[in-house]
Amino acid sequence: MTDGPTSETPPEPTQEVDLVIVGSGGGGMVAALTAADAGLSAIVLEKRDLIGGSTAMSGGVVWVPANQFLEADGIADSQEAALKHFEAVVGDVGPCSSTERRKAFLASGPEMVQFLQRLGVSLERCDGYSDYYSDMPGGLAVGRSLEPEPWDGRRLGDLFPKLQPGLAAGVGLAVKTNEVRTLAHWNRSPRAFATATRVILRTFGAKATRRKLLTNGAALIGQMLEIARARNVPVWTECPVTDLVVDGGRVVGVRATRNGQEITVKARKGVLLSAGGFSHNPEMRARYAPDRRRQPKWSIANPGDTGDALQAAMALGAQTDLMDEAWWLPTPRGGKFGQSTLVDARFRPGAIFVDAEGHRFVNEANSYMEIGRAMYERDRTARAVPCWLVFDDGYRRRYSHGLSRPGKFPEGLLDSGILKRAGTIAELAAECGIDPAGLEAEVARFNEGAERGIDPDHGRGASAYNRAMGDPGHKPNPSLGPVQRAPFYAVEVVPSDIGTCGGLLTDADARVIGPGQHPIPGLYAAGNITATVMGRHYLGAGASIANTMVFGYRAVRHAAATTTESATETATAEPEQPEPQ
């Protein structure tokens, strides 16, 4: 079996392996590598024609408290501190974020990272990428996030076209996630200029040597995919799972469609669902959160997030939680994934979010999930879905907008109507349908504090995260400055999502909880198909990817250690390997 995932040999109608993994994102790929390392036969079934899911599309950052990179750099952290952080920020949100699940996540995070490093996955610490609630008990100002090192996609050979393009593909630069926040400030400090120079040299150096240099989520998935092929783990694309196979109350496999043929893949040890959420399922969005999911078209989640595997598990009586929640990301109306440059103004001096009455309602520089939740909460009393980002000409002059030079908007942006411009605050408000008197009063009030670098209403710029994302060349507060120089601009902002984060309820070993609050034998789940251990908050960069990868890892470790009647019967036989794709 030399071709691994690339062979096109048609499968037999029925296959049998130890572990069936549904979905090829971070959780699915970690599970595949964990299974192979444990001597289990495994197969990954991916519905789409591309490999990597939401993880490949993302920044590829993983939030892992008490990781070995922090220890190596002499930075104090502990699982106990992180547990206190969970308690302070996430609070009591029920069994999805129970103390048992939190402890399991924290204990297995560093272990999973060490495992990936042993297999050859290259990671580095995101220095200075602060926890999103660093000012809360247990928070860490320097951050707990890791990301993949730049990686040459040529190593995938003919698998490269099957890899889901990552975040940097839309930017056109080989930029690491921890560098993105600095690029718009390249002209604002020597350190930012040095970072931007490094990114440019890396990008053009790769082009000169004809390397397909990957960063972000594509680099993370690419590295794991290369190892999976070396370990002979098949990854079948365009292979949607249509149902779960149950025998005597135990999940023993899946039914799927491949090359137009209905197939059954049996699982001796278990089935892991890591197939994403239901962002692109209008019926489910309307059913579970009618007041927070009014516009499914605003979602910029992985197109494969249609909830098929989730519904198959629910049909077996699987319990669910947080079905009204998502990973919210404020985005310009009509925007796409990775095209949030304008909305990133919220981190920098000279910009604010306002509702239709012209009032601010949130600390604009807080985490994107918190912004989305605040938009929906505010919308109960004043229209804030959508809201408006308002900024001045001082902001335009100071910062880069996309790949353009400072002061220059991307061509056609004003003509498109996405960006509004007016000579006065009152005229801008009228152009946007905002109450002019309300906006004028709010800007005057905001400016009074912003001149002194303080925000008495929402505390913007007080936390390490706010400051880390702000302008390093602006004093006294890198996150805060007045909106005062004409002309003025506005962009309509909607609460897009990059995935749902509610779904199947699982225990500390990622076993899906069924009727009577008991685990459904043979069924595991990880990632956005589950109710996240993070609850209704995003604790730091990479929290969602860490959730799926850690519990994908734990699921296989549990399955590998579990002996069932069906497993015992086949223990002495040579494991049957499926034909690879």
What tens digit of pLDDT does each residue of 274-296 get? 999 999 999 999 999 887 655 67
Is-contact 309 273, C-beta < 8 A? yes
Amino acid 14: pLDDT: 83
Q: How far is CA 458 from the centre of its chain?
A: 26
Question: In this structure, are residues 162 and 51 in contact, taking their beta carbons and an 8 Å threshold?
Answer: yes
Q: Are strands 519-525 and 511-513 parallel, antiparallel or unpaired?
A: antiparallel
pLDDT attached to residue 572: 31
Residue-wise pLDDT tens digits, 423-473: 999 999 999 999 999 999 999 999 999 999 999 999 999 999 999 999 999
d(CA 151, CA 120): 12
* Euclidean distance between CA atoms 96 and 320, whole angstroms: 9
pTM for this model (two decimals): 0.92
Q: What confidence tens digit (pLDDT) does each residue in 152-164 have?
A: 999 999 999 999 9
For residue 295, the model assigns a pLDDT of 65
d(CA 51, CA 301): 15
Q: What is the pLDDT of residues 221-268, one digit of tens each?
A: 999 999 999 999 999 999 999 999 999 999 999 999 999 999 999 999
Q: Which residue has the tokens 């572990």?
A: 19
Tell me what pLDDT residue 532 has. 98
In this structure, whether the domain defined by 332-497 belongs to CATH 1.10.260.40 is answered with: no
The whole-angstrom separation of Cα 506 and Cα 532 is: 9
> Which phi-psi region, left, alpha or beta, contains residue 253 (left: φ > 0; alpha: ψ -120 to 50)?
left
How would residue 565 be classed by pLDDT, with cut points 50, 70 and 90? very low
Q: What is the pLDDT of residue 454?
A: 96
Residues 514-533 pLDDT 10s: 999 999 999 999 999 999 99
Report d(CA 166, CA 217) in Å as an integer.
Answer: 6
Instruction: Report d(CA 401, CA 183) in Å as an integer.
Output: 10
What does the DSSP 8-state code read for residue 51?
B
- Portion of the chain with pLDDT greater than 90, in percent: 82
Q: DSSP secondary structure string, 209-256?
A: TT--EE-HHHHHHHHHHHHHHHTT--EESS--EEEEEEETTEEEEEEE
State residue 296's pLDDT score: 73
pLDDT at 183: 83
Q: What gap in Å lies between CA 410 and CA 464, rounded to an integer?
A: 31
| 3-state secondary structure (DSSP) of residue 375 | helix
Domain 1-166+217-277+307-325+501-581: give its CATH superfamily.
Answer: FAD/NAD(P)-binding domain (3.50.50.60)
Query: 268 with 566: CB under 8 angstroms?
Result: yes
Cα angle value 71/74/80 (rounded, 5°): 55
Backbone phi and psi for residue 138, each to the nearest 5 degrees, phi listed first: 85, -5
3-state class of 59 per DSSP?
A: coil
pLDDT band, very low/low/confident/very high, at 12 (cuts 50, 70, 90): low
- Candidate from 84-93, 404-413, 540-549 with smallest mean pLDDT: 404-413
Check: CB of residue 510 under 8 Å from CB of residue 522.
no
Every domain of the chain and the residues it spans: 1-166+217-277+307-325+501-581, 332-497
What is the model's pLDDT at position 185? 85
Lowest mean pLDDT among 121-130, 180-189, 549-558: 180-189
Task: State CA 387 to chain mean position distance.
Answer: 23
Q: Is the pLDDT reported for residue 571 higher than 70?
A: no
- Please report, as a single letter, which amino acid is at residue 532: T
Question: If you average pLDDT over every residue of the chain, what do you get?
Answer: 91
**Do 332-497 and 1-166+217-277+307-325+501-581 have the same topology in CATH?**
no
pLDDT value, residue 293: 56
CA of residue 266 relative to chain centroid, distance: 31
| Chain centre to alpha carbon of residue 367 | 12
Residue 92: predicted pLDDT: 97
